[in-house]
Amino acid sequence: MQAAVFPQAVKQWPSPIARLSELAANLWFSWNHEALALFAEIDAVKWAASGHNPVRLLQDLDESQIVALSNNTEFTERYRRVMDTFDSYLNGKTWFQDKYADRSYVQIAYFSAEFGFHESLPIYSGGLGILAGDHTKSASDLGIPLIGIGLLYKKGYFTQKIDASGGQQSELYPYDFTKLPIQPVIQNGEQLTVSIAMPGRAIALQIWQIQVGRNRVYLLDADHASNQPADKELTAQLYGGNQDTRIAQEMVLGIGGVKTLRALGVYPNVYHINEGHAAFLTLERLKELLQLGLPFHSAVETVRSATVFTTHTPVPAGHDTFSIEMVEHYLGPYLQELSRHKQQIVTLGLDHHTGQFNMTHLAMNTAGMRNGVSKLHGQVSREMFKEFHGHIDASEVPIGSITNGVHMDTWTAPQWKELFDRFLPGTWREEQANKHQWQQIEVIPDESIWSVHQQLKEDLIRFARQNLLEQRKRNGESEERIQEVRKYLNPKALTIGFARRFATYKRANMIFNDLYRLKKLMNDPDRPVQFIFAGKAHPADYPGQELIRDIYRVSQMKEFAGKIVILENYDMNMARYLVQGVDVWLNNPRRPLEASGTSGQKAAMNGVLNFSVLDGWWEEGYNGTNGWAIGSTGAADWAAQEKENTQAIYHILEKEIIPLYYNQGALPHQWISRMKRSIQSLSPVYNTHRMVQDYTEEAYLPTAERARLFVVNHYDVATKVADYKQFIRNNWYHVKIIGIDDRSAKLSTEVPLAEMKPTTKEITAQVHFGPIWPQDTAVEVVYYEEHAGDWKQKIVSMEPSGELTDQLQSFKATIPGHLVHGPHFSIRVRPISANFAHSFELSLVTSTLSWQ
């Protein structure tokens, strides 16, 4: 495979180190410790000053440094080893090639509003972006043919500073793209641009690319000379501006993203919408098909066949919505071109309850595959969008779940990886999702585990002290206040970390609900406890910023000084120190508002124990021995949940966590045993290799197959499916359940349910179909059974009996004998097709429930 060459590197590198700029241009360096160490060795001071940005580092070198490096035999030998590893990576065989050699036609386009690859490329704000970056990295590692599409934010998210009163100060700095690990896409000697139509003008978008291992991510940039000043700012800031900025950004991402692919000659057969921000991509694809002459309903089916949608938001308020008037204004030029389909297009995103245009509704109406990001989030999403799919049980709503993971090579400390290399099978990196390989954790000596953990903890404390030192210097505090932080945080104390976006539902300050109890707990001279906090609040989220002030105020109290600290400017670099260096990772959101959460997964890979509410990924990850669960009934009464969670946190800290940590002689063997169980049980499951393999096998490959099927022979299948759906919708009112023959009903009602024996009985139903062919439907019995205190829906298919006469068909089924039609079971009819992506692709159901 030909690696990208970085055009901004203007220096002529001597032959012994000729490919340094090529290495700097590929973000593979960001998850290869040897490559990072090589850049750090060049000039440690400049490396730190550059924000670990190898492009800027190399540009800042003078000629004498370059000559000295090329003549340094130790350095050039290390350079050759790194480049050999790099070349082997780019050209080696991969999981996808080995397992799916016959699927070379698969091409995935992954659209996301943000990507978090490395601190040197600050175009991310938090979990969604980091997940997108980790997803892309694992796709490269596994050889999955994925292209990323995103936006290049000239001012990134924001730099956070905390002032002397605990207030968050947000600062924006324009980035010099020539000093970042990105490069312009060049066509015919010029940077590639595409344009999108906006009301009264066109906006030009410059295209940049990032090389991420084997794959590329393309970024759109509105800061083009031909654009109006206001339009240049469209891609200035991540999640900045008002609703007008947001809808314009989402048009740039979705519509501009598809135009970019076409300008590159790329026609994917899978389009992955990572959260609703990118859903406008489906409208651009719809426009392409309509301009080819496809009928509207056939074009929609073609788009659906190739689209995967992942939702990350567990509350309705978190989904992007715009007024219909705003959508019609911004999409005006687009809708004018397709004026006869205007109402149909707007209806694709219409939320009939609110009258708003909902980006999630647009995504669900145009995506054949949909999923949440944990099992619990899948359940929450099915409940949330139950009405969207008609009168069916929430368990049948066609939204699945693929639980998030994290990129192990990015987030696991090099010291841990070296330990794993010594004791785990040699294939553990390539087969990290294989649970059997992780059983060998048991044989690692406790001394080795504790030594690595303590070293990482000391690294974190040095980093934290330096962060606080710089914070106080900048705030003009006294020399005494500045110097006292050098003694803050005790490397021997139980250290608990809390770092994430400061949103109120994450309840960062819940541990402060009982300061008297906390003071007693933290100031035990024999068993000290300390907390490290970090995180940003959105500049417009004032309640979130108030959380930062609360934590800061508590940290300044005499009894907590040096034992509770809050660090500023949380980014990927700080996150690595935190998830690798604390003893316990605390997470206490309101359940079920944490869709997944991935910071705890990063911590788990580094032997850090999770202490979390059973929400998101932790509900399925916790097994009773690999961390601690903060109990909750999950009640919607937030006050009750707050009280219950607070009591659980203090109780578990006092009775379990602190005693276990300090139950040690030379080594805390019981604590280390729990660390081992955490790594064993969580590392093989909550990594992005497993996650991306799940996406590939459960979503990408089936979608690619379906997309190919729908377009062959001049969109024949797409047209047939569209026509079939239209016919079914137009004629479904004819479908009626005429009668039920439940002969034992009277007898059954006279026998107490507790005394009934587990017998079976045959029931029959007569269904009138009108012009609909009976074979295009499923006739089913629906009832519920109790399992472990919960009622689960059961479905029994009914088989046709006798001849079809006057469009009337009898059906029969065998069910438990005690069930009585009406109170205990119902019968339903629904449309089916072998070409449906899921059972309820048409939300049409005729049921005897309507009789009740």
Q: What is the mean pLDDT of residues 507-522?
A: 95
Q: Looking at the domain assignment, is residue 717 inside a domain?
A: no
User: Within a 10 A sphere around the Cβ of 411, how many other Cβ atoms?
Assistant: 26
Residue 8 in this model has a pLDDT that exceeds 70: no
* Per-residue pLDDT, 851: 44
* Per-residue pLDDT, 315: 84
Angle at 443 between CA 438 and CA 446, to 5 degrees: 110
Identify the band that residue 454 occupies on the pLDDT scale cut at 50, 70 and 90.
Answer: very high
Q: Looking at the domain assignment, is residue 64 inside a domain?
A: yes
* Residue reference for tokens 């003893």: 583
* Per-residue pLDDT, 786: 86
| Mean of the per-residue pLDDT values of the chain | 93
**CB-neighbour burial class of residue 749 (10 A; exposed 0-12, middle 13-18, buried 19+):** middle
Starting at the edge strand found earlier in the chain, the sheet holding 321-322 runs 321-322, 356-358, 350-351
Alpha carbon separation from 502 to 430, 508, 793 (Å, rounded) = 35, 7, 39
* Per-residue pLDDT, 150: 98
More confident residue, 752 or 695: 695
Q: Domain of 45?
A: 15-91
Starting at the edge strand found earlier in the chain, the sheet holding 777-787 runs 790-797, 777-787, 825-831, 846-847
Identify the band that residue 690 occupies on the pLDDT scale cut at 50, 70 and 90.
Answer: very high
Q: Looking at the domain assignment, is residue 407 inside a domain?
A: no
Q: Looking at the domain assignment, is residue 410 inside a domain?
A: no
- Alpha-carbon span 487 to 180, nearest angstrom: 36
671 and 759 inside one domain: no
Parallel/antiparallel/unpaired status of strands 270-274 and 215-221? unpaired
Q: What is the mean pLDDT of residues 575-581?
A: 98
Q: Looking at the domain assignment, is residue 99 inside a domain?
A: no
660 and 760 inside one domain: no
440: left (phi over 0), alpha (psi -120 to 50) or beta: alpha
Q: For residue 223, list its beta bridge partners.
A: none
622 and 744 inside one domain: no
* Per-residue pLDDT, 6: 44
Quote the percentage of the chain above a pLDDT of 90. Answer: 89
* Per-residue pLDDT, 666: 84
Q: pLDDT (tens digit, 9 = 90+) per residue, 456-469?
A: 999 999 999 999 99
Helix (H, G, I), strand (E, B) or coil at 134: helix
Domain count across the chain: 4
304 and 451 inside one domain: no
Sequence-distant (6+) residues with CB within 8 A of 41 are 75, 78
Q: pLDDT (tens digit, 9 = 90+) per residue, 90-117?
A: 999 999 999 999 999 999 999 999 999 9
Q: pLDDT (tens digit, 9 = 90+) per residue, 521-577?
A: 999 999 999 999 999 999 999 999 999 999 999 999 999 999 999 999 999 999 999
Q: Looking at the domain assignment, is residue 100 inside a domain?
A: no
* Per-residue pLDDT, 5: 44
66 and 112 inside one domain: no
* Per-residue pLDDT, 4: 42
508 and 359 inside one domain: no
Please check whether residue 432 is in contact with residue 683, taking contact to mean a CB–CB distance below 8 angstroms: yes
Residue 757 in this model has a pLDDT that exceeds 80: no
Taking the mean position of all CA atoms in its chain, how far away is CA 528?
Answer: 36
* Per-residue pLDDT, 273: 98
Please check whether residue 674 is in contact with residue 660, taking contact to mean a CB–CB distance below 8 angstroms: yes
Phi, psi (degrees; rounded to nearest 5) at 634: 75, 20
Q: Looking at the domain assignment, is residue 714 inside a domain?
A: no
Q: Looking at the domain assignment, is residue 433 inside a domain?
A: no
Q: For residue 111, list its beta bridge partners.
A: 149, 273
Tell me the CATH number at 356.
3.40.50.2000
Identify the band that residue 751 occupies on the pLDDT scale cut at 50, 70 and 90.
Answer: low
- Alpha-carbon span 651 to 730, nearest angstrom: 61
Residue 746 in this model has a pLDDT that exceeds 90: no
532 and 666 inside one domain: yes
87 and 110 inside one domain: no
Residue 754 in this model has a pLDDT that exceeds 80: no
Q: Of the candidates 180, 160, 154, 9, which has an alpha carbon nearest to the alpha carbon of residue 471?
A: 160
- Alpha-carbon span 612 to 623, nearest angstrom: 12
81 and 110 inside one domain: no
Q: pLDDT (tens digit, 9 = 90+) per residue, 165-208?
A: 999 999 988 999 999 999 999 999 999 999 999 999 999 999 99
Domain boundary among 686, 702, 718: 686
Domain boundary among 401, 435, 467: 401
Domain boundary among 91, 124, 150: 91
Identify the band that residue 747 occupies on the pLDDT scale cut at 50, 70 and 90.
Answer: very low
Helix (H, G, I), strand (E, B) or coil at 160: strand
Residue 817 in this model has a pLDDT that exceeds 80: yes
590 and 469 inside one domain: yes
Q: pLDDT (tens digit, 9 = 90+) per residue, 327-339?
A: 999 999 999 999 9
Tell me the CATH number at 810.
2.60.40
648 and 783 inside one domain: no
* Per-residue pLDDT, 486: 95
Q: pLDDT (tens digit, 9 = 90+) per residue, 224-248?
A: 999 999 999 999 999 888 999 999 9
* Per-residue pLDDT, 756: 54
805 and 830 inside one domain: yes
* Per-residue pLDDT, 35: 98
* Per-residue pLDDT, 748: 46
**CB-neighbour burial class of residue 341 (10 A; exposed 0-12, middle 13-18, buried 19+):** middle
- How many DSSP H helices and E strands does the chain contain? 32, 31
